Structure 1
Amino acid sequence: MAIYNKMLVAIDLTEEAPHVLDKAMDLSKTYGAEVVLVHVVEPVGYAYGGDIPMDLTELQDQLDKAAREQLQAYGDKHGIKPENQLVLIGRPESEIHRLSEEVGADLIVVGSHGRKGFQLLLGSTANGVLHGAVCDVLAVRIQS
């Protein structure tokens, strides 16, 4: 059985986030693992293909601020150190992979909707994280 010392828990700040975080916190208690909590905000330009002729900096800053406040509430509730509560901007899969290596995580915990068919072809964050991680990945099943 593997022993985990540092867990990277990536949440999306939707109503499913508490379920994923609760599972991760149970695991961290079992293994005595340190938890790093992260949320990745995708750049606003990604949603519009980067072709909008306007400055989206203020909107991006508002999204970033809201994410930090929400993540801090989750982190504080679960006793996660403030320095281990991170909001990053970028592509979720890439940032989660980069951060997991940077902090030396030996387990990444993400939520998974278990999509099938056409939705699966489009890909998911959990699938992207799984296929590029250098450590174990736990995909917590979220009931849709």
Structure 2
Amino acid sequence: MSLYKHILVAIDLTEEADVVLEKARSIAEKNSARLTLVHVVEPLSVAYGSDIPLDLTTLQDEITEQARERIARLADKINIEKGEQHVVYGRPEREVHRIAEESDIDLIVVGSHGRHGLALILGSTSTSILHGANCDVLAVRVGKS
């Protein structure tokens, strides 16, 4: 009997995404589970404040298109179909939780830099995903310790 049937991999599209994706692929293989990828593009107004007197629509569209191209390349490496690749717009923790619930996900895999001190207190995307998830969450250590 498989422990997991459907795994959601939340990736940030950096070079470290390969480590997270490989870990998820390995777990999926051992459990005969389906893999779904998601990358969340955060609104630039959140990242840089809403006081910017510029129209950021074109830049936001370009970032989203680049994310689609990158996620497609990652998915091709491990044969994940187009329908299982999501690039969505919003807050990472909310969108990952939404997709997990809508897709009957039983494991979310996310990269974690293992922050310490003030960075840990302030939280991170992986911590935000962990809290509030209705399924198991695996934080894969990436980057330098």
Is the pair's TM-score, using the shorter chain for normalization, greater than 0.5? yes
**Aligned residue for 2:5?**
5
1:128 pairs with 2:135: no
Could you tell me which runs of 5 or more consecutive residues in structure 2 were left unpaired when the two chains were aligned: none
Cα distance between partner residues in 2 of 1:8 and 1:36: 5
**Aligned residue for 2:48?**
48
CA RMSD of aligned residues (A): 1.2
- Alpha-carbon distance, 1:141 to partner: 1.1
- Alpha-carbon distance, 1:71 to partner: 0.3
How many residue pairs were aligned? 144
- Alpha-carbon distance, 1:17 to partner: 0.3
Could you tell me which runs of 5 or more consecutive residues in structure 1 were left unpaired when the two chains were aligned: none
- Alpha-carbon distance, 1:2 to partner: 6.6
Cα distance between partner residues in 1 of 2:2 and 2:28: 13
User: What TM-score results when the alignment is normalised by the length of structure 2?
Assistant: 0.96
Whether the 8 Å contact between 2:2 and 2:31 is mirrored in structure 1 is no
**Aligned residue for 1:118?**
118
Alignment-mate amino acid for residue 141 of structure 2: R
- Alpha-carbon distance, 1:100 to partner: 0.3
Deviations 1:119-142 (A, max 9, x none): 111211110011110000001111
Cα distance between partner residues in 1 of 2:90 and 2:19: 24
> Residues 34-113 of structure 1 correspond to what in structure 2 (within 5 A)?
34-113=34-113
- Alpha-carbon distance, 1:15 to partner: 1.4
Cα distance between partner residues in 2 of 1:66 and 1:29: 28
Cα distance between partner residues in 1 of 2:2 and 2:71: 28
**Aligned residue for 1:21?**
21
User: What TM-score results when the alignment is normalised by the length of structure 1?
Assistant: 0.97
